[in-house]
């Protein structure tokens, strides 16, 4: 196993294909990746979603090779998201609102 993968918990039945698939997805951050990409698509609504995703995945690959972090959102995007949750314009949001708006940072 590579250093990015985790050992399976002892209670997982490795003969069960669903359990193996879940373990694979969990250990490689696949669910978080798809969730983040889906969020990007819904937020930006590009005219050509496949091209948009391919470009973003390429940027992520290059950043990983260069050991840089690729943000899913720029500062303007984050301000817009914050404003969407701060409907009373109080300058802060609750922890529940934060949890609802956060994107996994494993991406």
Determine the Cα–Cα distance for residues 65 and 2; give it in Å rounded to an integer. 17
Cut 0.95: pTM above it: no
Number of structural domains the chain divides into = 2
The CATH number covering residue 17 comes to 1.20.890
Residue 4 lies in a domain: no
- Tokens for 95, please give them: 């922890």
Question: Are 45 and 57 members of one domain?
Answer: yes
pLDDT digits (tens, 9 = 90+) for 8-19: 555 677 788 888
pLDDT, tens only, 47-84: 999 999 999 999 888 887 877 666 666 777 777 777 87
> Considering all CA atoms of the chain, what is the largest pairwise distance in Å, rounded to the nearest integer?
53
- Quick: pLDDT tens for 22-33: 899 989 889 988
């Amino acid at each position: 196993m590579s250093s990015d993968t985790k050992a399976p918990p002892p209670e997982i039945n490795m003969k069960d294909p669903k359990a193996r698939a879940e373990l694979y997805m969990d250990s490689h951050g696949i669910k978080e990746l798809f969730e983040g990409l889906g969020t990007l698509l819904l937020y930006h609504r590009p005219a050509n979603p496949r091209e948009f995703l391919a470009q973003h995945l390429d940027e992520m690959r290059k950043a990983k090779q260069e050991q840089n972090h690729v943000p899913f959102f720029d500062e303007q995007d984050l301000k817009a998201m914050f404003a969407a949750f701060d409907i009373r314009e109080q300058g802060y949001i609750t922890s529940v609102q934060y949890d609802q708006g956060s994107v996994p940072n494993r991406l």
